[in-house]
Amino acid sequence: MPKRNQYLILAAFAVLLALLAHFSGRMAAEPAFTFAKEEREVYLTFDDGPSTRVTGSILDTLKKEGIKATFFIVGERIPGREEVLRRIAAEGHTIGVHSQGHRYKEIYSSEEAFRKDVEACSRAIEKVTGITPGIYRFPGGGRHAREEALLKKMGYRIVWWNAVCGDGEDLSAPPEQLLRSSLETAKGKKRVVLLMHDRADCTATAKALPAIIKAFREEGCVFRAF
Ligand SMILES: [Zn+2]
């Protein structure tokens, strides 16, 4: 092969390499396949039920919106509201243990009292729904080292919260205030666990729920249950 042709081939090869480097660099900077952006998740959690009216209204909204949520149950509030509890289970929501009696002094008085409270609530849920709960939420919140260790031994996953609608603190709060508090306390959090209550006196919570769902959806959030 004449020397001139050899140079031409080499030059063409160099151009090809330069082009490859250029495009592979571009591909690294701008991937051809963009993976779906990690979604911001909102866990709607309801404590202190079941109640007839408020839980029922919340379930209606969740059904309409196609959302699954999590309910932390008070065992002593089940009698007479078995149908409400069965509905929570039948509609695919997650049920957790909150407390049998929800009396702080009693629950936290000793390890034995705590264990009995958890077991009584779990049994009450199981009797009505056939479900053995695997998640737990502390009544009144706060950290309880001794009880946390015990719960782990009993096989429970403890669920905390990092946002509140504020219904627990102020029963007279109107729905707009609950919406505002939900958004403000959830701000900047990638995974939001929102504390709400479905007790009989939390009618404002049920009223605020559609607007809370709408607002989080507008922020691009997806809803999950534990
Ligand atoms: Zn509670």
Q: Which of the residue ranges 6-15, 43-52, 114-123 would you say has the lowest mean pLDDT?
A: 6-15
Looking at residue 1, its amino acid is M
Distance of CA 42 from the midpoint of ligand 1 (Å): 20
DSSP letters spanning 7-71: HHHHHHHHHHHHHHHHHHHHHHHS-SSPPPPPPPEEEEEEEEE--SHHHHHHHHHHHHHT---EE
pLDDT tops 70 at residue 211: yes
Residues 16, 95, single domain; the answer is no
- Report the run of H or E that residue 96 belongs to, with start and end: strand 94-99
pLDDT tens-digit series, residues 182-191: 999 999 999 9
**Model confidence over 131-155: pLDDT tens digits?**
999 999 999 988 899 999 999 999 9
User: Distance from the CA of 164 to the center of ligand 1, in angstroms?
Assistant: 13
Cα 148 versus chain centre, distance: 20
Separation of alpha carbons 175 and 205, rounded Å: 6
Secondary element (H or E) of residue 204: helix 203-218
Quick one: 11 and 99 in the same domain? Answer: no
Please give the residue range of the domain that contains residue 8: 1-35
Residue 89 belongs to domain with CATH number: 3.20.20.370
Tell me, in angstroms, the distance from the centre of ligand 1 to residue 139's CA. 4
Mean pLDDT of 170-178: 95
Tokens of 207: 């009223």
- The pLDDT-based confidence of 28 (bands split at 50, 70, 90) is very low
Q: 2 with 95, same domain?
A: no
User: Could you give the angle at which helices 111-129 and 145-153 cross, rounded to 10 degrees?
Assistant: 40
Residue 19 pLDDT > 90, yes or no?
A: no
Domain check: are 27 and 71 in the same one? Answer: no
In this predicted structure, what is the pLDDT of residue 144?
92
For the chain, the farthest-separated pair of C-alpha atoms sits apart, in whole angstroms, at: 99
The per-residue pLDDT for 29 is 47
Tell me, yes or no, whether 160 and 195 share the same domain. Answer: yes
Q: What separation in Å is there between the alpha carbon of 102 and the centre of ligand 1?
A: 7
What pLDDT, on a 0 to 100 scale, did the predictor assign at position 101? 96
124 with 24, same domain: the answer is no
Strand 163-164 vs strand 157-158: parallel, antiparallel, or unpaired?
A: unpaired
Same domain, 16 and 64: no
Q: Is the domain of 104 the same as that of 200?
A: yes
Rounded distance from Cα 181 to ligand 1 centre (Å): 18
Do residues 66 and 167 both lie within one domain?
yes
- Rg of the chain over Cα atoms, rounded to whole angstroms, equals 27
Residue 30 pLDDT > 50, yes or no? Answer: no
Is 27 in the same domain as 47?
no
204 and 127 inside one domain: yes
Q: Do residues 20 and 121 share a domain?
A: no
Hey, what are 78's tokens? 């089940």
pLDDT of residue 1 exceeding 60: no
Residue listed under structure tokens 């149908």: 83
Report the percent of the chain where pLDDT is more than 70.
Answer: 84
How many domains, in total, are found in the chain?
2
